[in-house]
Amino acid sequence: MSLGSIGANPAGLRAVSTAVSTAAAGLPRTCPVSASVGDPAADAALADFTRRWSAQFERLQGAATVIARQANMTAVAFSLAGE
């Protein structure tokens, strides 16, 4: 979005903020836990993989939340400025 389009329609940026917030809320917090495959080494590797992916989901959700908040704050600023 350009500054001109934000200024002309700050509600559009609010809609982006809402969509990103909704997407962030819909992200899984963790990967599903897999059943044991019967091999301790494979189970440990799978558990490590699941833990790492869960951490990535949390980071992605955090980033999306920040992006949504910043988009909303920008829309509010443009609305207050009357641009």
Predicted local distance difference test score (pLDDT) of residue 45: 92
The residue ranking higher by pLDDT, 42 or 8, is 42
Predicted local distance difference test score (pLDDT) of residue 2: 66
Q: How many structural domains comprise the chain?
A: 1
Average pLDDT over residues 14-30: 81
Helix and strand counts by DSSP (H, E) for the chain: 3, 0
Per residue in 32-47, pLDDT (tens digit) is 777 888 899 999 998 8
Which 8-state DSSP code applies to residue 38?
S
- Cβ(8)–Cβ(1) below 8 Å: no
Predicted local distance difference test score (pLDDT) of residue 41: 93
Predicted local distance difference test score (pLDDT) of residue 71: 86
pLDDT at 83 over 60: no
The pTM of the full predicted model, rounded to 2 decimals, is 0.67
Residue-number span of the structural domain to which 64 is assigned: 3-29+37-81
